[in-house]
Amino acid sequence: MLKRLRQFRGIEFQLLFTVLLFFAAGYLLVMVATQQREFVATVPGLLSILWPSTLPLLLFIAVSVGLSFHSPQADQILLPLVALLAGLSLMLTARLEPSLNALYRCSTPDGVVFGCYEAIDAKQSLWVTLGVVGMAAIIFLPWDRILIRNLRLSLIDVLDHYRYFWLASGLVLIGATFIFGVDPNNSGVNLWFNFGFFLFQPSELLKIILVIFMASYLNQHREVVAGGYQLGPLTLPPLPYLVPLAAMWGIAMSTIVFQRDLGAALLLYGVFLAMLYAATGRAWYVLAGLIAFGGGAYILYQLMPIVSLRIQVWLDPWATARGSGYQIVQAIYALASGGIFGQGLGMGVPAIVPAIHTDFIFTAIGEELGLAGALAVLIAYILLIFRGFHIALRIPGRFRGFEQLLVVGLTSIIAVQTLIILGGNLRLIPLTGITLPFISYGGSSILINFLIVGLLMRISAQTGGR
Amino acid sequence: MNVRVLLRTSALLVAVGLIAVGIFQPIEAEGRWLLFLWAAAPLLGVAAWLTVPPTVPSLARNVGNIGLVILIGFALLSLQLLRQQVLYADTIYHHVAVAADGSTTSNVRPVINSQRILRGRMFDRKGTLLADRTSVQGFAHRTYPIAERYDPAIFGHVLGFFSTRYGQSGLESFYNTYLTGERGNELERLRERLVGGTPQGNDLTLTLNADLQAAASAALGGRVGSVVVLDPRTGAILALVSQPSFDPRGLTFNPAAASWEAENLRVSQYWQQLIADGSQQPLVNRATQGLYPPGSTFKSLTAIAALEYAAEGQPDTITCPNTFLPQPDAPPIVNAVPNLAGLTGDPSDLERVFAYSCNTAFAQYALRLGPERMSEIARRFDILPPQRGTTNYAGFRELPTAQSLLYVEPGFLNMPRALADTGYGQGQLLVTPLHMALLTAAIGNEGVMMQPYLVQRITRPDGGQITSHVPRPIRRTMDTNTARIMVQHMGAVAAYGFGSSVDNFTPAGVTVGGKSGTAEHVPGARPHAWFIALAPLEAPRFAVAVMVESGGEGSSVGAELAGRVLGAAFATE
């Protein structure tokens, strides 16, 4: 009993409880400010507003308590940070739902008019709940025992060993997108699978699969003596690095050409470069990779209208403020109206920015919570990312290089994705349509991100220490 | 090691310099800021990299460097947030983007916010409600209760319009921050911001007399022109009419309308109608922005100059010949009426040449005084030589104004003929009706020109007073004695001179004074009819300036109009 008490994950529990209070206060505020629910200042009145919405947050606490018994050594900071971001997501979705429905009206063929975004808050709650359950499944299920019995390998070893199987399934996934993909929001590309009850974005899964493959591959070729190939005056990286570099470059470019998904291309390539550097420590590989990407992007800029359009909008959105620049111009206005402390939750008009609940959700934070809120979110991401790297560096020994690279890769996904979408939102780089991890509305994104956290937690549980 | 420190310091300094310069680039040069920022990013990386002691490649070092790059990325994001949300937030908030095809894009938030606010009401000096507001489903709506009694167009130029689409004009514009409650009510706004509620603006009480304003507009009838009535003792504007005018209701979006689309169309059609060519520019406030030659009304200023510089002007040693030749190579000056000397006498005096409006006499005064003294006296009334940059009259800011000018081309007054023309009100003089009313009021106020004003009091919704106007003199323009003599001379105009019909409409026993003006503007066209008037002469309470564009003779058309306005002023006082 005393041992159990000593193992109690107090830091995590306290932080999660704080997040719960933060979420409850914010959610009540949103409900009152947007007048969705009558505010009754009694305990049952408050609970009736809060009840189903706090379920994901309570699940977080349940997971934390479970971890105290199951793997007390696992990282204690990761979960509260994720809970904070996910809670913010639920709060913002609840806040944006009535505004979006008031602004965007859809109609059925028989003429019944309704808001286009009805019940997005409930759906997002469901995704976060499912995400937490999925994360718990990764952490708590005895994967090692199951897999050892069947494949004679632990979970990590399965991921490491069957790398070409993962690569193949990734390629199958890409191919399947072309065949079975659908285009629900008329973006011009088929990036989604329609499972009837929900739409899944395979590129979300693809990034994890590629990270697993790259971690395994790079770990295997870690000890390559840097010789390099002489190609005329150029010194090329040694073959084991040159091949994946060229392959990733090809994948990124073809993603742009065939799927017009600049965000995914940039993300996959960025994560790959981070992992390549982590494995080799050679900055000039990364530089060469960046130059190759820049060169390819420049050629595509000349050839592909969508790329050149994105660049033009980036450089001067005001010139096409009523056309293609509309979204970014409205986002600039929204941010400017936020000021230091923001308009207050529910008091701004963020919904006029298209895709405010997905790609541009950070703009809503900037408008209603101001610079203070926006910086707080940035800091939360920095802590989350650095916690991920911290886990990677806690993994002892040279025989667990795969795990190290895997954790670096998974963390880089979150980091690079955050930087790309926020850079696009704030007009530091051309805008590309990807989600803000944990905060943007969307099922696939939420599920995959929780999957990543599950893996990080599981690995950290096996490294020991804090 | 020293090289490292040097490199590190210089990289850091250059990066910080780039950011510091870039972040203050105007928002039109956003591209330059991005360039500077991205140039600073690798320098920051180099500086940070040089700070960490070199180690052999290891996972820890590699991951650390990746973390460094990510940190720099977040730093760039934070800097951009700082620029967009703090440093240039206001500029961006109000930025209007004009696209290549001429279409404009602006922030919708000011419009939405303005519709949330119940703008303050406007009352006339007697407490008559001119402009009110209601709330329709959370949208504020400007209404004009005065419409029950008078056409709101009569008040259009003073109140101005309030449109979510075309902006604001008149008092709606100048007192916008008070009407929205942004100023004067800061505590209440803070409370609303914290706990919510419908913001209410502050109320304005005008100096305007709604009945007089309506009567003046009626007296002007359908003619194009202006009427200004001031209280000479305070500078309070009692009436300010400019025609043609506009109906502020026409530009006010009514949220209660059944179809918002039709309502928007109605507003934009009315706007198009107002700004159309050939609409006679109803959005221009002729009383404060219209620049006209003042004609003989300006002789009052020349007379003041002659009295103030009596030694040079010799006011009472004057003749009124039929023609006068100031410059041998230019055509002579003639009087409007032949053989005027028969009325003024020969030799004459200032009172009689003023009463009978003798051009040749005032041409002689101007030549006797010379350009410097004439300019100096005009300057006392803020009638200035052409100035660079100043197009508004600084003495009155509540409405859009134009600066009255003594002449247009530099050096104009150095020509004797030009100086002589200026002396009787032609030349290149360009004066607003408001300005002639100010000059009249200064004569009526023993020489002290008071600052004109329209808003007497600003009060909070709960009735508490925010500000109250205290009458302020602009300056003493003439000696008290000069003013007294001028009042007498103006009285002579009404008593026996040209314009004696001015006292036909005032109550018996009220003494009236004035001066007519018939201003040539385009050769062959009907002249502008002017009249300035003061009453009662013993202690003037009303100073009037009227002008009718191409209206004809000032001594008949102008005098009758001024008389009717004065009559209404006494009747509605």
pLDDT tens for A260-313 read 778 888 898 999 999 999 988 888 888 888 999 999 988 988 888 888 888 888
Is A349 within 8 Å of chain B by CB?
Answer: yes
- For A404-440, the DSSP string reads HHHHHHHHHHHHHHHHHHHHHHTTSS-----PPTTTS
Whether B64 and B185 share a structural domain: no
Tell me how far apart the alpha carbons of residues B544 and B237 are, in angstroms, rounded to a whole number.
10
Structure token pair of residue A461:
């549980």
* Non-local CB neighbours of B552 within 8 Å, separated by 6+ positions: B518, B526, B527, B529
Q: Is B229 contained in some domain?
A: no
> Do A325 and A335 meet the contact criterion of CB atoms below 8 Å apart?
no
Tell me how far apart the alpha carbons of residues A119 and A35 are, in angstroms, rounded to a whole number.
16
Q: Is B213 contained in some domain?
A: no
Tell me how far apart the alpha carbons of residues B41 and A349 are, in angstroms, rounded to a whole number.
33
Domain boundary among B52, B70, B97: B97
CA distances from B116 to A35, B134, B257, B393 (A): 16, 11, 17, 34
Domain boundary among B262, B281, B300: B281
Give the closest of B62, B81, B112 to A366, CB-based. B81
Give the closest of A281, A335, A348 to B84, CB-based. A335
Tell me how far apart the alpha carbons of residues A344 and A342 are, in angstroms, rounded to a whole number.
5
Is A276 within 8 Å of chain B by CB?
Answer: no
CA distances from B528 to B90, B491, B553 (A): 46, 23, 7
Residue B488 has pLDDT above 70, yes or no: yes
Instruction: Identify all chain A residues contacting B38, using CB atoms and an 8 Å cutoff.
Output: 428
- pLDDT (tens digit per residue) in A167-183: 899 888 888 887 877 77
Residue B259 has pLDDT above 70, yes or no: yes
The pLDDT score that the predictor gives to residue B304 is 97
Instruction: Identify all chain A residues contacting B84, using CB atoms and an 8 Å cutoff.
Output: 332, 335-336, 366, 426
Whether B156 and B74 share a structural domain: no
**Which of B476, B408, B425 shows the shortest CA–CA distance to B300?**
B425
Tell me how far apart the alpha carbons of residues B155 and B211 are, in angstroms, rounded to a whole number.
11
Whether B25 and B70 share a structural domain: yes
Tell me the residues of chain A between 278 and 337 that have a Cβ less than 8 Å away from chain B: 278-283, 315-316, 318-322, 329, 332-333, 335-337
Residue in chain A lying closest to B195 (CA):
A33
> Do B70 and B48 meet the contact criterion of CB atoms below 8 Å apart?
no
Whether B58 and B78 share a structural domain: yes
Please indicate whether, in this complex, the C-beta atoms of B88 and A336 are within 8 angstroms of each other: yes
> Do A318 and A329 meet the contact criterion of CB atoms below 8 Å apart?
yes
CATH at residue B412: 3.40.710.10
Show which residues on chain B lie within 8 Å of chain A, measured between beta carbons. Answer: 30-31, 34, 37-38, 57-63, 65-67, 70-71, 73-74, 76-78, 80-82, 84-86, 88-90, 92-93, 97, 99-100, 103, 105, 107-109, 112, 193, 196
Whether B274 and B375 share a structural domain: no
Give the A:B interface size as CB pairs under 8 Å: 128
Structural domain of B12: 3-97
Instruction: Identify all chain B residues contacting A340, using CB atoms and an 8 Å cutoff.
Output: 85-86
Whether B343 and B270 share a structural domain: no
H helices of B427-479, where?
Answer: 433-444
- pLDDT (tens digit per residue) in B374-401: 999 999 999 999 877 668 899 999 999 9
Q: How far apart are the first and last CA of chain A?
A: 22
Q: How confident is the model at residue A230 (pLDDT cuts 50, 70, 90)?
A: low
Kindly give the pairing relationship between strand B203-206 and strand B122-123.
parallel
CATH at residue B128: 3.90.1310.10
**Between residues B44 and A251, the one the model is more confident about:** B44
Q: Is B427 contained in some domain?
A: yes
Average pLDDT value over all residues in chain B: 91
The pLDDT score that the predictor gives to residue B101 is 66
Whether B88 and B189 share a structural domain: no
Tell me how far apart the alpha carbons of residues B569 and B572 are, in angstroms, rounded to a whole number.
5
> Do B381 and B405 meet the contact criterion of CB atoms below 8 Å apart?
no
Q: Is B234 contained in some domain?
A: no
Structure token pair of residue B375:
């300019």
* Non-local CB neighbours of A314 within 8 Å, separated by 6+ positions: A328, A427, A429, A430, A431
Q: Is B161 contained in some domain?
A: yes
Domain boundary among B48, B77, B97: B97
**Which of B238, B212, B375 shows the shortest CA–CA distance to B301?**
B375
Whether B389 and B535 share a structural domain: yes
Tell me the residues of chain A between 413 and 432 that have a Cβ less than 8 Å away from chain B: 415, 419, 422-423, 426-428
- pLDDT (tens digit per residue) in A31-42: 888 877 777 778
Q: For chain B, give the percent of residues with pLDDT over 70.
A: 98
Instruction: Identify all chain A residues contacting B100, using CB atoms and an 8 Å cutoff.
Output: 319
Chain A closest-CA separation from residue B138 CA (Å): 14
A42-74 in b/e form (b: 16+ CB < 10 A) is eeeeeeebbeebbbbbebbbebbeebbeebbbb
Bond into B507 cis (ω within 30): no
Structure token pair of residue B485:
């003599």
Give the closest of A283, A374, A392 to B63, CB-based. A392
Q: How confident is the model at residue B511 (pLDDT cuts 50, 70, 90)?
A: very high
Tell me how far apart the alpha carbons of residues A35 and A95 are, in angstroms, rounded to a whole number.
10
Whether B276 and B296 share a structural domain: no
Whether B256 and B316 share a structural domain: no
Give the closest of B57, B77, B85 to A370, CB-based. B85
Please indicate whether, in this complex, the C-beta atoms of B85 and A339 are within 8 angstroms of each other: yes
- Complex-level ipTM: 0.94
Q: How many domains does chain B have?
A: 3
CA dihedral B32, B36, B39, B42 (to 10 degrees): -140
> Do B6 and B69 meet the contact criterion of CB atoms below 8 Å apart?
no
Whether B371 and B481 share a structural domain: yes
Whether B81 and B124 share a structural domain: no
Average of pLDDT values for A19-26?
Answer: 93
**Which of B262, B94, B115, B112 shows the shortest CA–CA distance to A351?**
B112
Q: Is B239 contained in some domain?
A: no
Residue A232 has pLDDT above 70, yes or no: no
Please indicate whether, in this complex, the C-beta atoms of B85 and A374 are within 8 angstroms of each other: yes
Please indicate whether, in this complex, the C-beta atoms of A389 and B67 are within 8 angstroms of each other: yes
Structure token pair of residue B553:
């003779």
The pLDDT score that the predictor gives to residue A466 is 44
Q: Is B438 contained in some domain?
A: yes
**Which of B37, B373, B553, B30 shows the shortest CA–CA distance to A313?**
B30
